[in-house]
Amino acid sequence: MSFQPTLDYARQMDAQDPLRFFRDQYLFPQHQGHNCLYFCGNSLGLQPKQARACIETELQRWQELGVEGHFEGELPWTQYHKALAPASAHIVGAQEDEVIVMNTLSVNLHLLMVSFYRPDAQRFKIIMEAGAFPSDQYAIETQVRWHGYDPAEAIVEVAPRPGEMLLHTEDILATIEQHGSQTALVLFAGLNYYTGQVYDMPAITKAGHAAGAYVGFDLAHAAGNVPLHLHDWGVDFAVWCTYKYINSGPGALGGVFIHTNHGYNKDLPRFAGWWGHNEERRFLMEKGFDPIPGAAGWQLSNAPILAFAPMKASHDLFMQATMPALRAKSEHLTAYLEYLIDLLNAERPRFSIITPRDPEQRGAQLSILTGPEGKALFDYLAKNGVICDWREHNLPGEKEGKAGVIRVAPTPMYNSYEDVWNLVNLFDLFPGVSI
């Protein structure tokens, strides 16, 4: 890609951006009367301007209809979850009957492990990446203990090679092959929250299935960020949150994917609730759980409509923008950020990007490893209107709380090239010494 390091160039790119309209559909936190430089979509996405109106619409319907809002109106509450299915399916590459929005990510992960982690004396191991997000670590550890196994024996973690921070796909596949006959489940993130590395999900799925195991993914940092084709890849199940790149609000409900190979298997064990029961007979209150075909059969409770409402605003924008267009801008915008940081390093080494250089192995995130002045740099950025993310690293020889990683997420839905230029300009003006 050919770039120029000037503000005029950044503004020219923004003027040519076919997605520039979407920036105006979001509300930015303010700093001294101006929009913040918001690069934290990997933690919490911005609020869509239509979110408030969507919530107020449901409040008005509650006021006017009371309980009849479940059955009356343009979008009755009993059907509300179906309005989110087209966008959810588009975002993760699925059929509409393979996705459902319900609960939150960790709850969904536990629920799906009920169905897809059923260990026995021969197959009881779970293969995962070392240093996974705590949601995965804790869920897997406690599920293993609940089944009566020792996590030290049942959990196999694939770690980076000595002196490296990224995983090699061949190491993941070799580990699956090594433990294959004892493996019940392969459960990875789609994208590592810390390094920003995208894992080779098709290859992992193929290897897991060849070993006779189920394969699932936590897509918290991948959904709405990188291209996903869960149905075509043959992934058994996946979970994700919607408050990061999908911009559905703090603590928003999560998404679930269950491949059609399993979604229509009524005998597959699960924890059931009445909202997953046969829609035609749901209100007869009878015994005998009869699951709705597809992912909807894993629902437990009726939907929290006031939490669903802002999700409709965010999901509608994804249907308008489309994932291919967002991905195209994301690759270019992230590469521009990388280019500008590399120019600073050409003057003197200052910033170490640990995220893969290959666009196929990353999304809208660059993780910048810092030294002793890293936290001071992060605080300096915050004082100048930048919202990004700090994660402790504590390198050998560093004092606790000093070294770490600054995660920067140039999100294509609402970040601009001028945002990126202004951010790197602040990096350059940081009054500290080299880091």
DSSP assignment of 72-84: SSSS-GGGGGGGG
Q: Checking DSSP bridges between strand 237-240 and strand 214-218, what pairing results, if any? A: parallel
∠ CA 361-15-386, nearest 5°, is 60
Q: Checking DSSP bridges between strand 125-129 and strand 155-158, what pairing results, if any? A: parallel
∠ CA 332-312-222, nearest 5°, is 40
Question: 344 to each of 8, 212, 335, 420, how far by Cα in Å?
Answer: 18, 49, 14, 14
Question: 116 to each of 2, 213, 216, 299, 338, how far by Cα in Å?
Answer: 46, 9, 8, 16, 39
User: In the beta sheet, which residues pair with residue 127?
Assistant: 156, 186
DSSP assignment of 42-97: TT-PPEETTHHHHHHHHHHHHHHHGGGGGTSSSS-GGGGGGGGHHHHHHHHT--GG
Q: Which amino acid is at 236?
A: D
- Output the pLDDT for position 348: 80
Alpha-carbon torsion, ordered 217, 218, 220, 224, to 10 deg: 10
Architecture label for domain 53-321: 3-Layer(aba) Sandwich (3.40)
CB atoms within 10 A of CB 187: 32
Check the CA dihedral 300-301-302-304 and report its sign.
negative
Sheet of 389-392, strands arranged across: 352-353, 366-370, 404-408, 389-392
Check the CA dihedral 239-245-249-250 and report its sign.
positive
Q: Which residue has the tokens 């002196």?
A: 163
Which tokens is 248 given? 């559905």
Cβ–Cβ under 8 Å, residues 92 and 240: yes
Length of the chain: 435
- Output the pLDDT for position 397: 40
All CATH 3.40.640.10 domain ranges in the chain, comma separated:
53-321
Please list the pLDDT of the chain residue by residue as tens digits (435 residues).
789 999 999 999 999 999 999 999 999 999 999 999 999 999 999 999 999 999 999 999 999 999 999 999 899 999 999 999 999 999 999 999 999 999 999 999 999 999 999 999 999 999 999 999 999 999 999 999 999 999 999 999 999 999 999 999 999 999 999 999 999 999 999 999 999 999 999 999 999 999 999 999 999 999 999 999 999 999 999 999 999 999 999 999 999 999 999 999 999 999 999 999 999 999 999 999 999 999 999 999 999 999 999 999 999 999 999 999 999 999 999 999 999 999 998 988 888 999 999 999 999 999 999 877 888 999 999 999 999 999 887 543 434 555 689 999 999 999 999 999 999 999 998 886 544
Measuring CA to CA, which residue among 22, 24, 80, 43 is closest to residue 307? 80
CB atoms within 10 A of CB 28: 16
Q: Give CA–CA dist 187/129, Å, rounded.
A: 8
Which tokens is 261 given? 């190979």
- Output the pLDDT for position 396: 38
Query: What's domain 7-35+323-429's superfamily in CATH?
Result: Aspartate Aminotransferase, domain 1 (3.90.1150.10)
All CATH 3.90.1150.10 domain ranges in the chain, comma separated:
7-35+323-429
Element (H, E) at 257: strand 254-258
Cβ–Cβ under 8 Å, residues 239 and 253: no
DSSP assignment of 356-413: -SSGGGB-S-EEEEE-TTHHHHHHHHHHTTEE-EEEE---TTSPTTTSEEEEEB--TT
- Output the pLDDT for position 65: 96
Which tokens is 358 given? 């290959």
- Output the pLDDT for position 370: 83
> Within 163-250, where are the H helices?
169-179, 201-210, 230-233
